[in-house]
Structure 1
Amino acid sequence: MTRRLSLVALALLLLLAAAFAWLSWRSQHEPATAAAPSTLQGAALVERGAYLARAGNCMACHTERGGAPYAGGRAIDTPFGTLHGSNLTPAATGLGAWTADDFWRALHHGRSRDGRLLYPAFPYPNYTRVTRADADALFAYLRSLPAVERANTPHDLSWPVSTQAALAVWRALYFRPGVYADEAGRSAEWNRGAYLVQGLGHCSACHSTRNALGATELMDLSGGMIPMQGWYAPSLASRAEAGLAGWEIDRIVQLLGTGSAPGASTLGPMAEVVLHSTQHLSAPDLRAMAVFLREVPETDASPDSAPPAGAALRERGARLYAEHCAACHGEQGQGIAGAYPPLAGNRAVTMPVTANLVQVVMYGGFPPATQGHPRPFGMPPFALELSDAEVAAVLSFIRGAWGNSAGAVSELDVAQQRGTTR
């Protein structure tokens, strides 16, 4: 038996090595200039690149808290270990020796200047959709930044994920390079929105379910837990979660541009996206994204398998709601327009996945302070004031009151959420 297992292990290693060798050969023969470069020059090219960097929210992963912009170092926790954002400034330790072809190869093929395969925490499965012209503009902007000599922090990943051979196999399974091509029969506005959502916006990186190897489907926007953060990115294909079918375009634009809209607000990781990225996009680009997102094919909502709250749990939750919540959200969950959201009929309250509700009650909920909504109202944290059982009780009451008909939240749900939050 031991000899058989050894032979199996050897065969797997040989398979990994063969896949790595083949992919290495293929990548060396991939053209670096597969599309037309930018026609912009000088300051116009840099300005375009700055805008695109905002659209891709590049600084979020490539800037350490308190560090120089784009100088790298930010730790990115994953189920496989910790990755660190690289230095994108034009320093010797950053992009100083890179060419526009090198940068295009990284975005389009997921391969560094020295030939190393890049980890898909850098979302090249999405960025491969970016045109060569936009890649050149991004590179010009990054080259215009002050050079910051900061060595890249080595990744800390478990074996065999830390090997290039394993990464080569992952790419063979889940990565296909390809610039976005307009879909026939769709308007220019829809195609622009699809390009932004699928490419630089990399919305599927959060709003889709990852498999055991961390892969997602580019067009799967059916929702998923964000690894290591304890937040759920709701489905953009379900009206019961965050689907936008039936919404007015202007309402979607307002939500993406300010973080708040009538009956809706962004919290958690999406609030950061609005703060650092979408609020800076042009009105035509926000509208294009809205047009595309509103037409995402709809899917049925996942059934809520949790049983309804019992009478004792509802009674306890009602008392806690009256004591801690009613002053802002109203005795009937009606909220206060422009300040505190209604809880009655709120789909964020009744989704089967309750992770975000637990997050908000325990750690607070804070929409972004944007140019269009500079002083949003937030919710204070109750992690030190309410026990896990009390959080479960008040949420169970809210999910079953005022016409809401969602299942109860268990104390175990809250404890697990508290334990997975970083």
Structure 2
Amino acid sequence: MKRVLLVVVVLLLALAGWWLLRTEMPSPVSPSANRLDAAALKDPSLVAKGEYLTLAGDCASCHTAQGGARFAGGRVLPTPFGNIPAPNITPDRETGLGEWRFEDFWQALHSGRGRHGELLYPVFSYTSFTKVTRDDALAIFAYLQSLPAVHQPAKPIGLEFPYSVRNSLKAWRALYFKEGEYVPDSSKSAAWNRGAYLVQGLGHCNECHAPRDSLGGSKSNPSLSGGQIPAQNWYAPDLSTQANGGLAGWSEQDIVDLLKTGQSTRGTAFGPMADVVSQSTQHMHDDDLRAIATYLQSLPARAPAVVETSPLDTKPVLAQGAKVYAERCADCHGRDGNGVPGVYPPLNGNSSVNEPSGINAIRIVLLGGFAPATQGNPRPYSMPPFAQQLSDSDVAAVVTYIRQSWSNHASLVMARDVIENRHTPID
């Protein structure tokens, strides 16, 4: 019944989008914009700036297929509505951006429209990229145009009706998309504004670290409050360092260390975040990482989490979990759950352990934990998978024990939660 209602809503949105779209056409490109492309894009300093910005924006992660040429597209991005392959953004004239002008690129990044004015699916995070300044967008475009051209045709989009109706995006955008460059806050420091610009815009952090509704819209109030990543079954934690935040108690250095090396005294990057660190943040300047930390530390405190109590007697589950923990986990993470600094991450007070769903801890126990190899930590310790050694009830018990021990007070997980995630792919 819920699916039927959702389809009806999407059809209504499609109709509304068609009606609104009939009279709206993309703005024409001026001749001066064409001259700008040829005149400015060869500047070595502009290209170098653009290379850095593409790293900060983690562009290669989505636009590079496993084993494929960098930026040549082909990676399939899963969504709850179907799969969408990332396009080729090398300067190939037939299959990439070779025929694009800067104004075309700016329109895509800033307005979420393709070269011919078509509405782009928001799996391309223009809801965040709209905040990128025009100067930075020009630098990114100059760098992409400097790359070797790779001929790789686009794969077909895997959206089923009614989600394949592009006109429905017009109504979706009216609900969830606010176009506009980042406007600095004059009451804040330069570092805060730089961090806000990177987090809100190019870094597009809220695309993962925020809950989404049934139409795929991101809830941004409060900002960066954490949410399950659609179709990937990982939970991106709340990023506030204030009371009840996912990073409560984290220092500026803790945040910088995690982004630079994949590991800090407070936690380790696993899952999708490990890829972000490996491909993006480890390459960023320390000043930018500290600016990000400054901004995250300014996020407001959160309301205390409401932990559901179980009507069942949890003592047997906790006893079972304690037994599994002592046998499988304590040697590395310690009986006190505090781990070994710089080697094994703490479980006590860990945001990935305490996140609301329990998905992260379940998946790491089942599939193992693999921190990114970075210049600052080239040989990280990894956690082995226990999917073959532990039953569903054992995994549920040890995760529940970890989530309710020491300073942790998260909800319990059930064996059915483990079953649901046991065969879910990593990406």
Query: TM-score under structure 2 normalisation?
Result: 0.89
Q: Is contact 1:244–1:293 with CA below 8 Å preserved after alignment?
A: no
What does residue 418 of structure 1 align with?
422
Residue type matched to 1:343 in 2? L
**Distance (whole Å) between structure 2 residues aligned to residue 139 and residue 336 of structure 1:** 44
**Distance (whole Å) between structure 1 residues aligned to residue 334 and residue 12 of structure 2:** 64
| Of 200-209 and 351-360, the range deviating more from structure 2 | 351-360
Residue type matched to 1:84 in 2? P
Residue type matched to 1:378 in 2? S
| Of 340-349 and 163-172, the range deviating more from structure 2 | 340-349
Structure 1 pair 10–214 and aligned structure 2 pair: CA distance change class (3 A): closer
Structure 1 pair 187–345 and aligned structure 2 pair: CA distance change class (3 A): closer
- Displacement of 1:346 after TM fit? 3.6
Residue by residue, what CA displacement relative to the aligned partner does 1:349-398 show, whole Å, maximum 9, x if unpaired? 33332110001100111111111111211111111211111101111222
Q: Is contact 1:126–1:200 with CA below 8 Å preserved after alignment?
A: yes
Q: Is contact 1:305–1:352 with CA below 8 Å preserved after alignment?
A: no
| Of 249-258 and 92-101, the range deviating more from structure 2 | 249-258
Residue by residue, what CA displacement relative to the aligned partner does 1:189-210 show, whole Å, maximum 9, x if unpaired? 1111110001110000000011
Structure 1 unaligned segments of length 5 or more: list them.
Answer: 1-7
Secondary structure of the 2:370 match is: coil
Secondary structure of the 2:185 match is: coil
Structure 1 pair 403–244 and aligned structure 2 pair: CA distance change class (3 A): closer
Residue type matched to 1:292 in 2? Y
Q: How many residues align?
A: 411
Q: What does residue range 13-412 of structure 1 map to in structure 2 within 5 Å? A: 14-22=15-23, 24-25=24-25, 27-28=26-27, 42-92=43-93, 93-218=95-220, 220-237=223-240, 239=242, 243-244=246-247, 246-307=249-310, 310-412=314-416
| Percent of paired sites with the same residue | 48
- Displacement of 1:263 after TM fit? 2.4
Structure 1 pair 30–312 and aligned structure 2 pair: CA distance change class (3 A): farther
- Displacement of 1:301 after TM fit? 3.6
What does residue 4 of structure 2 align with?
none
Structure 1 pair 171–12 and aligned structure 2 pair: CA distance change class (3 A): closer
Q: Is contact 2:63–2:74 with CA below 8 Å preserved after alignment?
A: yes
**Distance (whole Å) between structure 1 residues aligned to residue 176 and residue 420 of structure 2:** 31
**Distance (whole Å) between structure 1 residues aligned to residue 13 and residue 217 of structure 2:** 21
**Distance (whole Å) between structure 2 residues aligned to residue 322 and residue 406 of structure 1:** 20
Structure 1 pair 46–196 and aligned structure 2 pair: CA distance change class (3 A): same
Query: TM-score under structure 1 normalisation?
Result: 0.90
- Displacement of 1:173 after TM fit? 2.1
What is the CA RMSD across the aligned residues, in angstroms?
2.6
Structure 1 pair 316–183 and aligned structure 2 pair: CA distance change class (3 A): same
Residue type matched to 1:311 in 2? K
Secondary structure of the 1:28 match is: coil
Residue type matched to 1:377 in 2? Y
Q: Is contact 1:39–1:133 with CA below 8 Å preserved after alignment?
A: no
Q: Is contact 1:87–1:94 with CA below 8 Å preserved after alignment?
A: yes
Secondary structure of the 1:164 match is: coil
- Displacement of 1:412 after TM fit? 1.3
Structure 2 unaligned segments of length 5 or more: list them.
Answer: 1-8
**Distance (whole Å) between structure 2 residues aligned to residue 393 and residue 383 of structure 1:** 14
